[in-house]
Chain A
Amino acid sequence: MSAENPSRPSPALRTEAMEALLVERQLVDPKMIDGFIRNYEEAVGPLNGARVVARAWTDPEYRERLLADGTAAIAELGYKGPQGEQIVAVENTPSVHHLVVCTLCSCYPWPVLGLPPSWYKDPAYRSRAVREPRALLAEMGLELGDDVEVRVWDSSAEVRYMVLPERPACTDDLSEEQLAALVTRDAMVGIARAEVPVRS
C-alpha cells in the first residue's frame, strides 16, 4: 500500500514490475543489479573505514595525510567510488566530538562505510542531529560531558565526512588488524565511541 494513494501496489511489487518492464525491452540486465547488490552486501562496508581508522591510529604520518586530504589517504588503501569524490576525515579528541548527518537526504561516505543504516536515514535523526545533538546522542547511548565541544557536519553538497574516533585506552599491544575490529560504523559517524569490548 502507498501512503497518499492506498490503492497503489506495494513498493515490492512495483520494483518487480519496473525491473520486468526494463528487462523486457533489454534496457536493464538483471545481472547488473545483482552486481550492485553484491558489491554493497559483501565488498563495500564499514570494514573499509575501520581499516582507515586503524591505519591512522598506528601510523602518525598516515593520520596527518588523512586529516589533510581524506580522499587521497583513503584511496591509498584502495577505497574510492560513488559518494566518495571528496571525503573529509574529522578527528575526535577528549575535548571535541564530531557527528555526521545529511538533513536533505541521507548522503553517506559509501566507499568507507557502505550504504547507510536505518537510523541514519530516520527522520528523527536527520531532523534532530542539527538541532539538539547532545540530547539525541544521549538517547542513542552516548553521553558527552559539558566540557566536550560538539561539532556537527551536515553533508549538504558532495563532500562526505567520516569521523576518526579516539583510540581506546589500553590498546597499545593490539595489531592494526585487531584495532580495526574495534572500529564500528557507529563510531565513524559519531554516535558512539570506539571501545574495547568488555569480556564477560
Chain B
Amino acid sequence: MDGIHDMGGMQGYGPAPAVDPDEPVFGEAWEGRAFGLSLLSMRLSGTNLQAFRHAMERLHPLRYLGEGYYGRWLNGAETLLVDSGILAAGAVDARARRLQGEEVAEPPAPEPHKPDYQPTAAGSIRAVDSPPRFSPGERVRARDLHPIGHTRLPRYVRGRTGTVEMVQKPEVLPDSHAHFEGENAQHLYAVRFDSREVWGAGAEPFALHVDLFEQYLEPAQ
C-alpha cells in the first residue's frame, strides 16, 4: 500500500535527528513492555512478521507518526490480536480507561479466529527450485506496481532502472505472506540505482541499493 510508512525520499521531516550515544534501549518502561507484547502478539494471533508490519502500515498516519516507534508496535500488536479474535475491539482502551479510574464496561472476550495458515519453516529464508532470473551486472527495472496490500517495493524506485549488485538468499514474498496467501518464496536481489536515476539530474551523486524480490523486477536494456 502507498502508506505513511513508505518514507524514502519524502521531504519536510526536518533536520537530522540528534544522536545520543548513551540513549537507553527503552526510553520509557512501557516501551519495553510494548516490545515484548508485540513479539508475543505474532504467536498469539497465529500470524507472522510481515502481517505485523502491515498492521503498522495500516495505522492512521497521525497515529503512525504521533505515538512513536513502540507506539506503532503497540498499535500493530493490538490490530493482530483483534483481527484474530484474541482480544475484542475496544478491549484495550476500555481496560486502559478503567486503569485511569473511569467506570466503563469491558467487551467480552471474542471467539478466536486465527488465520488458516502455517509457515513451512521458521524465519524467512526458503529454497527455490528455479534458478535466479537475473544475474549480477544485469540491468533491471523496478515495476510500477501499486498493490493495495503489503509490499516491500518502495515507491521511490518504481519504474526506475538499476543494476543487479548481489543475488541474496531467496525469501518468502511479503506481498502474499502478510495476507496468509502463501509463502511464494522468490529470488531476492540487491539492486543498485544511481541517485540521479531516482531523484533527477540535480541529485547528490551516490549509489542506492534496495533489496527487491524477483516479481518486482523486469529486464531493462
Inter-subunit contact A27/B86 (CB<8 Å): yes
Choose among A41, A121, A134, A157 the residue that contacts B211 (Cβ–Cβ < 8 A).
A157
Given the complex, which residues of A lie within 8 Å of B208, measured CB to CB? 130, 152, 154
| 17 A–B contacts from the bound complex (CB under 8 Å) | A10-B96, A16-B99, A18-B81, A22-B40, A22-B44, A28-B44, A33-B33, A103-B156, A105-B56, A123-B65, A124-B15, A131-B156, A135-B204, A149-B207, A150-B205, A151-B209, A157-B212
Q: Considering the chains assembled together, what is the distance between the CA atoms of A33 and B34 in angstroms? A: 9
Instruction: Pick the residue among B23, B67, B171 that contacts A11 (CB under 8 A).
Output: B67
CB–CB B206/A19 < 8 A: no
Q: When A and B form their complex, what is the total count of cross-chain residue pairs whose Cβ atoms lie within 8 Å?
A: 253
Task: Give the CA-CA distance A17 to B26 in the complex, in Å.
Answer: 19
Asked if B7 is an interface residue, CB under 8 A from chain A, the answer is yes
- Interface size class, chain B: 35 or more
Q: Which positions in A face B, CB cutoff 8 Å?
A: 2-5, 8-22, 25, 27-28, 32-37, 40-41, 45, 85-86, 88, 103-106, 114-119, 121-128, 130-136, 139-141, 149-159, 184-186, 191
Chain B positions near chain A (C-beta within 8 angstroms): 5-11, 13-21, 23-30, 32-37, 39-40, 44, 53, 56, 60-63, 65-71, 74, 77-78, 81, 86-87, 91-100, 109, 123-125, 152-154, 156, 166, 168-169, 171, 174, 188, 190, 195, 198-199, 203-213
- Of the candidates A13, A21, A88, the one whose C-beta lies within 8 Å of that of B91 is A21
